[in-house]
A = this chain, B = another copy of it.
Amino acid sequence: MNIKDIAKISGVGISTVSRVLNNSGVVSDATRARVMSVVKQYNYVPNSNARNLKMTQSNTIALMVKGISNPFFANMIKEVERQVHLRGCPLLIQHIEDGVDEIGAAVQLVKEKNLCGVIFMGGTYDHSEEEFKQLTVPFVLTTITTIKEVDPSVFSSVSIDDVHSAYKATNYLISLGHRSICFLARFPLVENTIGNRRLLGYKKALEEHGIPYDPAFVEDCEYAPSFGFAAAKRLMNKNKGATAMFAASDAIAIGVAKAVLSSGLSIPGDMSIVGFDGIEMAEYYHPSLDTISQPGVEMAHVSVETLFDLIAGETANKHIVFESLLVKRGSSRKIN
Contact = CB atoms under 8 A, between A and B. Distances in A.
The listed residue with most B CB atoms (<10 A of its CB), out of A225, A257, A281, A288, is: A281
A336 to B, nearest CB: 26
A281 B47 contact: no
A51 to B, nearest CB: 8
A70 B71 CA distance: 8
A69 B58 contact: no
Interface string A40-77: 00010111111011000010000000001111001101
A112 B81 contact: no
Interface SS of A by simple majority = helix
Interface residues of A, number: 53
Contacts of A68: 74, 77-78, 81
A45 B254 contact: no
Nearest to A75: B69
Contact of A81 (B50, B71, B95, B111): B95
A281 B48 contact: no
A94 B92 contact: no
The listed residue with most B CB atoms (<10 A of its CB), out of A46, A74, A112, is: A74
A46 B114 CA distance: 11
12 contacts: A47-B53, A49-B50, A49-B58, A49-B114, A53-B53, A69-B77, A78-B95, A90-B92, A93-B93, A225-B280, A228-B284, A258-B285
